Structure 1
């Protein structure tokens, strides 16, 4: 609208000047001068309005609803003012009959042509907003019509009718032009909005893709690379030559989560990541692999920092006190591998073996991967590879060690102990076997295998009339946490129609570290009538409350307190304390590790109700157990 008015006004003024010039020549110079002065003043007013600020022109996509409403009101007021100014200009042009004696003088044709031209031009330029050109053309065309009708002859009446028809045609054209302009503007604005929307969508998608790529390779919490990003970066660096890999695992982090909560644990992880960055060499790569495990990859030759020096710096940095936490609560163990390996997976495996050795040595230690660890790693791999075959082919054996009453003669129980004689490595220790099963994903398979042998022994006992002898089966913390032990055991006993009271599940005190994960399973076992025994009591983590939470019916005094008992006042005091605790809580007490006659007599004097150890009977395979123990019991009976 502003553009059309500003374009039309110069033509308006030139035509007004021509009209004034003709008025001078026809003897109406004074009236012409006054008319032109008023017309020019109105045109200047209209120019001023078109150049005046308008709040309605400041709308943006970010404009608030309140600002938008105010802007629209401002635009409406501005348009109304422009309509009024156009009407005022039209009134000035409606006074042209004063210059030609009411369209009766010789100059009538000139003024009629000027009037038609300026009104047609106003409509032609005013396509954006029809009300303004219509407000301008209405007064002069009506003035022409009135004057022609007033003249009174037939020709002028016909001409007046034509002027009215001309006015109607211009009105119709003005509204048609406005509608066409609005439709074209709508299409243009929609196209512009669509283009802007597509551009914004493209920018949003690009930003989202960048963010997704970053999230795919970085840890949200610490900002370090995650496992996927670390592997991607490390694979490319492996091609450059020998590099060093350090695996870090926080010591005591679980207790931080348990005592202070997971939000505090997250703050610790963020702070540890910051400290790792501070120590990291310039060419180094740091990542959080998951949980409280971190990794550092760097080139010692390029940085000039030996692996042991960097590992020591990382240990010292992480061990620094943390605000809001007890000093020394947090530490770190580090496994270091340096040199070339065929793949990053192999490097990670070697560094993990070194980390495991470092954690075994205590907190705030680092361990370099060496020949000894390589041999142990190979042994572990051999075990993992061969264990599934051994389970499938029943190469594992389950031996049983007898448990006796206070008189050391009455058989009251058997403890099942798994044995594996590897064809190349010889006898495998049960703890190593359990760890191997967990690593190889065979935890449940191993549990089911041992359970089958235990159930077979229970059937043998029933057949021999020894149904009161209870069989104990060890379940590791890993098995208890990862496997539905209660469902598996209860289902198997029901299928074989074996009494649950003949079975006892032995767990270690370490199981108490994650009571929430195992308490339901232990409750299910206890509710079914299966007894629970707490093995190696006295050297782990359990408390008086955890004894109840673990549903323990029996505690087994660790052999370290029993062996040499007759010669140690301290051990005797500890054993007496455990016996008193058992009586107070209604728990059965078994003394493990009875390896001498002196220790046996001491325990009998103390009144220990159940006894187990090499002095009374070693673990034996089933045939030997039947020949030595069952036969003797039947003979005694």
Structure 2
């Protein structure tokens, strides 16, 4: 027998063989403090990791194992006890890619008290043992069955229980032996039994049923269940029913159907009307049912292997990850989130996630997603409606107060300033009353659109109510606010086009500033409102910063209103008369009656102060009626005294004009006074007649009484030629704003000449107001203006002084 000479290998040869072992091998040393360092790596390990050998020898196992996996695998005590382990891990290569590996770990204790760990591993990315996969799948399904907090049960074709999960025992208070001897009809409440029997037959015909029903537990207590039941189909034959039921007696939340077994339980997953999904430990899709494909718009193949977090909307990613990670600790969890489907449309979900347990380890996650988009959208719509104005879509008053509170807190914290602009449209009520609410709504929308276009990043726009808007401008100083409000005024005074008409609705703006004018919401709003109110009192179409003196003036207006209400009874009103002279004859053509108020406490009050207050409070109606009565009485008195007969004109307010009993009231006054109606003239403004159809009816009714009609301030409003032709107008009064500069302004001369020509073409006489100089008289006479009125002839005079003036005029 031949013998062989055996020669031992030297260390270099051993290292060469180690280096060329085809399996990657890493050798780590266990240090006394429990830490590990890499002390050896073969050529395959270098290739597999992407690191050089020198780089690996400066690293620890924790550097190349995925952190989530390292936290689960770093169990030294287990290794010391068993000496060798076989496990799955995830290695992180130098380029950051993650590779799943199967690892054999062997602990070796050397003679020199050194402990070495030999780690050999292989890439299992593309290879899985079929039997292991089936066993794992079965264990996953079993874990779904065992750990599900909802009832899961199986019935045979006769309705007898053949399998139940632990949750069924807990919720129904029966043990498994008791339930497995019962038929489903034994526990259904009598109220629902007939319907449940019909639904059971529907399932046996291969259809899915989702229903709510009442059952009786072991202690005769009634429970309300939300049930989904599907047929168990094997080889295309229905063998029974499998169902998932959630106890909604107290919770009121739906849990979805879960997979039970590879073939029988597959029916539950595939036929579920809600999304059922499975993820691996890295949150990557491993399974989705058809409902998921329909909901997301992706096929299962498109989703498999991709992280679910990529489909969550950005603002929900962090919270969703935090909620999802709870299941990795072995606990089921429920939460709401939102994802984007393939069409980039948001889908809101109520999610139930359940850990997949295999041999005590979590190997993945089951997820059931209920589409709650419709209810979320309804909830968001209700929330939007609560905090936004339906007409302009601007944030409303409730939103403003919430935003203001937040702004105050931020300003206090950062020691910054902000300002509140309280905006009120000056002529909105006139426009709304005369043109109608539809036009008023269009105007408000146009104003809102201008404000939106004007606002910058620091400004928020709100519709506060009615014709009131608010701008909340953050981080502003007074000098900046002044420039800001000037630009705002310039924008808002421009006309708005409403159905072919150019409408002007100027703003009155009040401004308060934090912290100078107040440090709380109530004070800031009150002062902004007071400043706006003062802006109106200053002639409208302007802005005012709040100052302390405003408050006393506002308080004064409240006192003035009280006195104004008593003025008629106290006989405090009087009429002044300004003559109107016919250009061709130089005779008295008529007179305009102008109201004056003398109060014992306030003295002589300017009409510019009390008329707007009377209009605002509605007192203008009884005051206006008094003016007509007094004008008729005085005219009769002059006629009885032997003066020539001429018409006296009085101004109608918009409130009077649209009073339903206006015609009857004037008819009664004329009859009571005995005045021939031709000697009463009623003046209206262009803006009052914007609703041409209604105005035309009113004017014709008045004209039928025999009175004269004049359109006052012509040229400043919005009358169209077609409207003038409809109206029974006797006189056009040319506004004094055009007359005063005709000596120097070519445009004003052209406008006045055009108005005169227009009126004559329509067979209407013209009256020019504001005639103060001989130049005015000569120009207007030259252009055939019929009647002149102004300080050139006389200022407005009390009745007795006016009589004296008439006597003197006759002598000229």
What TM-score results when the alignment is normalised by the length of structure 1? Answer: 0.55
Shift of 1:435: 0.8
Aligned to 1:352: 532
Q: What is aligned with 1:305?
A: 476
Task: Give the secondary structure class of the aligned counterpart of 2:706.
Answer: coil
- What are the within-5 Å matches in structure 2 for residues 123-522 of structure 1? 218-222=388-392, 224-227=394-397, 230=400, 244-248=419-423, 268=446, 271=449, 279-280=457-458, 287-297=462-472, 304-306=475-477, 309=480, 334-338=509-513, 339-340=516-517, 346-353=526-533, 356=536, 360=540, 367-370=544-547, 373=550, 377-406=554-583, 409-423=586-600, 426-464=603-641, 468-477=645-654, 479-480=656-657, 485-515=662-692, 518-522=695-699
- The match for 2:33 is none
| Structure 1 residue 481 displacement after superposition | 5.1
Residue 609 (structure 1) shift? 3.1
Indicate if the aligned counterparts of 2:583 and 2:788 stay in contact, CA closer than 8 A: yes
Secondary structure of 2:630's partner? Answer: helix
In the TM superposition, residue 540 of structure 1 has moved relative to its aligned partner by 4.2
Cα distance change on mapping 1:238 and 1:549 into 2, 3 Å: farther
Q: How far apart, in 1, do the equivalents of 2:558 and 2:652 lie?
A: 23
Where is the helix percentage greater, Structure 1 or Structure 2? 1
Aligned length: 448
Could you tell me whether the CA contact under 8 Å between 1:461 and 1:469 is conserved in 2? no
Match of residue 54 from structure 1:
204
Note if contact 1:315-1:332 (Cα within 8 Å) is conserved in structure 2.
no
Tell me how far apart the structure 1 counterparts of residues 717 and 161 of structure 2 sit (CA, whole Å): 98
Deviations 1:383-407 (A, max 9, x none): 3332212233121211112223335
Aligned mates of 1:399, 1:247 — CA distance in 2: 38
Contact 1:469 1:502 in 2 (8 A): yes
The 1:55–1:313 alpha-carbon spacing in structure 2 relative to 1, beyond 3 Å, is farther
**1:23 counterpart residue number:** none
Matched-pair contact (CA < 8 Å) for 2:458–2:475: no
CA RMSD of aligned residues (A): 5.6
Give structure 1 stretches of 5+ with no counterpart.
11-49, 63-73, 75-80, 83-203
Is contact 1:319–1:330 with CA below 8 Å preserved after alignment?
no
Segments of structure 2 that go 5 or more residues without pairing to the other structure are: 1-153, 164-199, 213-230, 232-237, 240-373
Deviation of the 1:554 alpha carbon? 0.6
Higher relative contact order (CA 8 A, sep 6+): 1
Larger Rg: 1 or 2? 1
Deviation at 1:450, TM superposition (A): 1.2
Asked if 1:585 is matched to 2:762, the reply is yes
Name the CA shift for 1:536/1:476 in 2 (closer, same or farther; >3 Å): same
Secondary structure class of the residue paired with 1:336: strand
* Aligned CA distance change for structure 1 residues 345 and 444 (closer, same or farther; 3 Å): farther
CA drift of 1:361 comes to: 5.4
Deviations 1:318-340 (A, max 9, x none): 9699xx999x9999954311344
Shift of residue 535 of structure 1?
2.3
SS of aligned partner of 2:637: helix
* Equivalent position to 1:595, from 768, 772, 787: 772
Q: How far 1:488 sits from its partner (Å)?
A: 3.0
Q: Deviations over 1:45-93 (max 9, x none)?
A: xxxxx9996247634479xxxxxxxxxxx9xxxxxx99xxxxxxxxxxx
Asked if the contact 1:582/1:589 (under 8 Å) is kept, the reply is yes
